[in-house]
Amino acid sequence: MTSHWCTILLTGILTGGVSLAAAPARPNVLFVMADDLRQEWPDQGSPALIPNLQALAKRGVRFDRAYCQQALCNPSRSSLLTGKRPDTLRLWHNSTHFRELNPEVVTLPQWFLQHGYTTRCVGKIFHNWHTQEKGDRRSWSAPEFLHYANHGDDKPIVSGAAPPNLAQAPRCERRDVPDEAYYDGRVAAEAVRVLREIKDQPFFLAVGFWKPHAPFNAPKKYWDLYDRAKLPKWNPDRPQGTPELAFHDGRELRGLPPNQLTFTHDQAAEIRHGYLANLSYMDAQLGKVLQTLHELGLDDKTIIVFLGDHGYHLGEHGLWAKTSNFELDARVPLIVATPDRQSAGKPSTALVEALDLFPTLVDLCGLPGPTGLEGRSLAPLLTNPATAIKAAAFTQHPRPAYFDRESTSTPQAMGVSIRTATVRYTEWRDWTTGRTLARELYDAQADPGETHNRVDDPQLQDAQRLASTWLSQQFPTTPHR
């Protein structure tokens, strides 16, 4: 289906009254990703100060029940950028580039490149570390910018000595430096430059911000936006009755065993403060890009997509960072804004998945669709956000959470999870045999914080039976080998 602003333009009348039709006007695509960004909408109780994201949501449709396919960088990004699930790609960890196992797969930007678009990458879009191949050069019209680095190397670059670090908690840094001292400020500056360079040609510009991923090192002025004493409290308790397989050791923030950190209350509060500062810093960089798009007169010619690659825990459930199947990790922020402002400002509660973006953008831009995509176009939801296109969304994660190809031992289990309109149901299956080891069921309506595992609760038996059936259809009980 092609949107009405992609219609054929009549350019003249020939002798004899015959009309001449020009090629269809194709919209540009500005595709923006954030790293480790869970849903933090102020109208839903978050203290986050994100004026540019809020303004973008008023221009498009905000999807409040959008889900990643795995809460880890490489599997999530590889899935949504190829339109294929992690099981199809056979990719569940960070150390293997998706092309090592799927050399001929076509990515979202590569498809646009093959159909006449200039495609550019600024910042982190594909997975940025641990893999032999760096980025995916064949997807882009020109070399990628600041796409392959280590988050821990994002140190302040300033003239002279760096100002003192006023933070105290681990992984936190609060220095009075300009935005471009860190990665995301430089990503925004380059995105602005590239926009000016490619403004006169159909483009697919991907802008990948590195934040709010740790370290929590936003410039001081973004920390100063928040009063830590007034930030909401959090519940660090594990859900009642939840199996041990559902949890992990939070090593991304706490370090590796046996010397893992246990955060004090004050340290945890500062980390949460730093996460919000990172989020506001990223939002400000997004604003610079959107403002340039407007100044260039491209608002009415460009589809804008904004999403996070996966969610994040900040102490809830006793967890830090990602790699779980809980709602906080699986759900992601997603906004799609089209030039004609279809359904502008109307949030949707439809269940959608990150891998739906590939078919959506192909659909909206009137391109032929590649074969083998496993998502569904969100175009109907842009016309009517109150409708639905699917009954469930699926997420998965292995245990151990960070196994990689160098591991000599076979992973213990795969957790496969389904989110329906009413429940989240998860099965933890033996990696080798496929046998179910443990199960979880959370009432998404009465217990959105997932504090009580109600598996086999008679009051939820119909919802559990239906979720179990759908889960088995998506993830047959066969070994993950």
Q: Strands, DSSP E only, in 324-435?
A: 331-337, 352-353, 393-399, 413-419, 423-430
Out of 68, 97, 121, 127, the active site residue is 127
Segment (H or E) for 31: strand 28-35
- Which pair of tokens denotes residue 359? 């078919």
Instruction: State how far the alpha carbon of 302 is from the alpha carbons of 28, 141, 370, 444, 453, in Å.
Output: 4, 19, 22, 36, 44
d(C-alpha 473, C-alpha 480), whole Å: 15
Residue 313 designated active-site: no
| CA angle, 30 then 35 then 39, to 5° | 90
Instruction: State how far the alpha carbon of 389 is from the alpha carbons of 304, 323, 331, in Å.
Output: 21, 27, 17
For residue 145, what are the β-bridge partners? 122
**Rounded (to 5) percent helix, strand, coil in the chain:** 30, 20, 50
Q: Strands, DSSP E only, in 60-110?
A: 61-67
DSSP reduced 3-state for 90: coil
Contact yes or no for 321/303 (Cβ under 8 A): no
Residue 172 designated active-site: no
Contact yes or no for 451/402 (Cβ under 8 A): no
Out of 68, 73, 121, 365, the active site residue is 73
Total residues found in the chain within this entry: 481
- Which pair of tokens denotes residue 350? 């439809």
| Residues assigned a catalytic role | 73, 127
